[in-house]
Amino acid sequence: MDHYFILLFFGFLAAVIGVSLPGLLNMTAVKVAQERGKQASILYIAGALSIIFVQTYVAIFFAKLIDSSPFITEILHEIGLLIFGSLTLYFLVFAKRKEKKENDTVKRLKNPYVYGALLALINVFSIPYYVFLSVTLASYQYPIFEWAYTVIFSIGVVFGSALMFYAYISVFKKVANENAFLLRNINYVIGTITGIICLVTIYKLLR
């Protein structure tokens, strides 16, 4: 029973650390909250969390199969580089040109849940992170590869991610009242973040 609580806590802590840095999902959560309101942001977060749960489970499954082999992780990095490179180009090059159109697109979204799920689906950068963590936990004899413990760890990740999404929305809501400039240029913030992720990924691939 102790392992259940320990792995739940580790999953929660891993997500808090991972999502605490500005990223595509949490910054977009802020954008949806500002442009669509609280209900839309809740649906967006629910969509993202559902995919995050599956991604964490898949990451642990990969870790069990490859046992820290770099092959699949390198493939994921290459896929992530392509995706985040495209996102960087869009947000930095086309954001100003299509700012009004983009705002209209976000407002026309009928299902923010699907929007959150789709963004989480392309955000494969977190999978190698949880592969590494699960291999590390297994090396300390935690039974994370058993399906029940895998589910518990994944639930912990969902709880931690939900907390950080809420924290980002709450903090930026206060900032919005004092500094509208940041929110007007949030596309450039997101583009800069994805650009940094691209550079980190290129560094790892070339190393």
What is the tens place of the pLDDT at every residue in 159-180?
A: 999 999 998 888 877 665 545 5
Rounded-to-integer distance, Cα 166 and Cα 156, Å:
16
Interval 17-26 mean pLDDT: 79
**Do you know the residue count of the chain?**
207
In terms of Cβ atoms closer than 10 Å to its own Cβ (0-12, 13-18, 19+), residue 22 is middle
What is the tens place of the pLDDT at every residue in 24-71?
A: 888 889 888 888 888 899 999 999 999 999 999 998 988 887 655 666
109, 115 Cβ separation under 8 angstroms: yes
Alpha helix ranges (H) inside the chain = 2-20, 24-36, 38-66, 70-89, 99-108, 112-122, 126-139, 147-178, 180-184, 186-206
Identity of the residue numbered 61: F
With a pLDDT cut of 90, the percent of the chain lying above it is 25
pLDDT for the residue numbered 5: 92
Per DSSP, 145 falls in state: T
pTM: 0.71
The first and second tokens of residue 185, run together, are 């240029």
Task: Please indicate whether residue 101 or residue 93 has the higher confidence score (pLDDT).
Answer: 93
